[in-house]
Amino acid sequence: EPEVTQTPSHQVTQMGQEVILRCVPISNHLYFYWYRQILGQKVEFLVSFYNNEISEKSEIFDDQFSVERPDGSNFTLKIRSTKLEDSAMYFCASSEVSLGIAGSTDTQYFGPGTRLTVL
Amino acid sequence: GIQVEQSPPDLILQEGANSTLRCNFSDSVNNLQWFHQNPWGQLINLFYIPSGTKQNGRLSATTVATERYSLLYISSSQTTDSGVYFCAVEYSSASKIIFGSGTRLSIRP
């Protein structure tokens, strides 16, 4: 069964450094997402991406964050200058279609996550 | 925005017991999913269930969309069922998923 993959599984970085988290969505999926989960808290939406553009972003997704689909398979999340509070589990997800019509949306498939630790 | 409430927040059971986890949501949703987060932090999709009832082995789920709640049933619990169970709903045209705070389930041998 196809699955979303993420690398690395664990990233440790120093405060102020840039990190890039990588995701390979399911190959025929068109919609891509990033979520994060601070330890012990709920999973929070960061950003959705479709047709090489951001579709929606949350208030968490400030100027320090950016997303890119650099080629036909990867989807990346970049944090330009990491802060201690960026330490979290970051999940990538993808879906085949999301028409936004009641009953027409599709399942989002989640990757295993990247645990980011900022020291 | 939409509120997603899960209950109970914590549940401790003996192996073999049955359990019911509840998810209430405050507005109409396009989609509802149940996830299990294992001890390694991975999110495992259990059910995609915007309405109706589905079963998969010892797990089943029911969503009553008109009354804005969903239930996850776990029968004959095993220690490997331990972890956090999240309900997540999708309600906007931009496909944002909103997660509940989760139910932490601990199954004692």
For residue A108, the 8-state DSSP code is P
Residue B60: both structure tokens together: 């089943």
Measured over the CA atoms of residue A85, residue A86, residue A90 and residue A94, the dihedral's sign is positive
- The domain defined by B4-108 folds into Immunoglobulin-like (2.60.40)
Q: Distance of CA B92 to CAs A42, A53, B29, Å? A: 19, 18, 8
Count of beta carbons in the 10 Å neighbourhood of residue A45: 22
Structural domain includes residue A105 = no
pLDDT tens for each residue of A4-38: 999 999 999 999 999 999 999 998 888 899 999 99
How far apart are alpha carbons B46 and B35 in whole angstroms?
Answer: 5
Tell me which chain A residues have a C-beta less than 8 angstroms from the C-beta of B99.
35, 42-44
Q: What pLDDT sits at residue A118?
A: 97
Phi/psi at B21 (5° precision): -110, 140
Contact status, residue B47 vs residue B36, Cβ threshold 8 Å = no
> Is residue B3 less than 8 Å (CB to CB) from chain A?
no
Range of the domain at A79: 5-95+112-118
Q: What is the pLDDT along chain A (119 residues), one digit of tens a residue?
A: 779 999 999 999 999 999 999 999 998 888 899 999 999 899 999 999 988 999 889 999 999 999 999 887 899 999 999 999 999 999 999 988 754 444 444 678 899 999 999 99
Structural domain includes residue A72 = yes
Tell me which chain A residues have a C-beta less than 8 angstroms from the C-beta of B45.
107, 109-110
Chain B: give the shortest CA distance to residue A64, in Å: 21
Contact status, residue B24 vs residue B32, Cβ threshold 8 Å = no
Q: What pLDDT sits at residue B94?
A: 52
pLDDT tens for each residue of B5-60: 999 999 999 999 999 999 999 988 888 999 999 888 888 889 989 899 999 999 99
The CATH number of the domain holding residue A30 is 2.60.40.10
Structural domain includes residue A102 = no
Q: What is the dihedral of CA B89, A105, A20, A17, to 10 degrees?
A: -40
Q: Across the interface, do A44 and B99 touch by the CB < 8 Å criterion? A: yes
Residue A16: both structure tokens together: 């102020």
For residue A102, the 8-state DSSP code is T
Q: What pLDDT sits at residue A30?
A: 87
Q: What pLDDT sits at residue A115?
A: 95
Number of domains in chain A: 1
Average pLDDT over residues B51-73: 96
Whose tokens are 């330490």? That residue is A87
Q: Across the interface, do B42 and A112 touch by the CB < 8 Å criterion? A: yes
Structural domain includes residue A103 = no
Percentage of the residues of chain A whose pLDDT score is greater than 90: 70
CB contact set of A119 (below 8 Å; sequence gap of 6+): A12, A13, A14, A15
Residue B63: both structure tokens together: 């969503």
Tell me which chain A residues have a C-beta less than 8 angstroms from the C-beta of B46.
none
Q: Comparing C-alpha atoms, which of B86, B82, B88 is closest to residue B102?
A: B86
How far apart are alpha carbons A58 and A61 in whole angstroms?
Answer: 5
Mean pLDDT score of chain A:
89
Chain A: give the shortest CA distance to residue B84, in Å: 10
Q: Comparing C-alpha atoms, which of A89, A11, A91 is closest to residue A47?
A: A91
Q: What pLDDT sits at residue A100?
A: 47
Residues 71-100 of B with CB under 8 A from A: 86, 88, 90, 92-100
pLDDT tens for each residue of B78-106: 999 999 999 999 876 556 789 999 999 99
